[in-house]
Amino acid sequence: MVMQARMAMALGVALIALQPLPALAQAHDIQLAKQSYEAGKASGIRPQTRGENRMCGAHWDAFEALVKAGTITEADLEVLGDDFIEAAVLISKVHFKLAAEEGNTLSNGYKNALNSAFEKAEGFIYGDVDDTKSLFENLGVCQTS
CB 58 within 8 A of CB 114: yes
pLDDT tens per residue across span 99-129: 888 866 789 999 999 999 999 999 999 999 9
pLDDT tens per residue across span 2-54: 444 444 554 554 455 445 444 444 589 999 999 999 999 999 999 999 999 99
CB 27 within 8 A of CB 76: no
CB 137 within 8 A of CB 40: yes
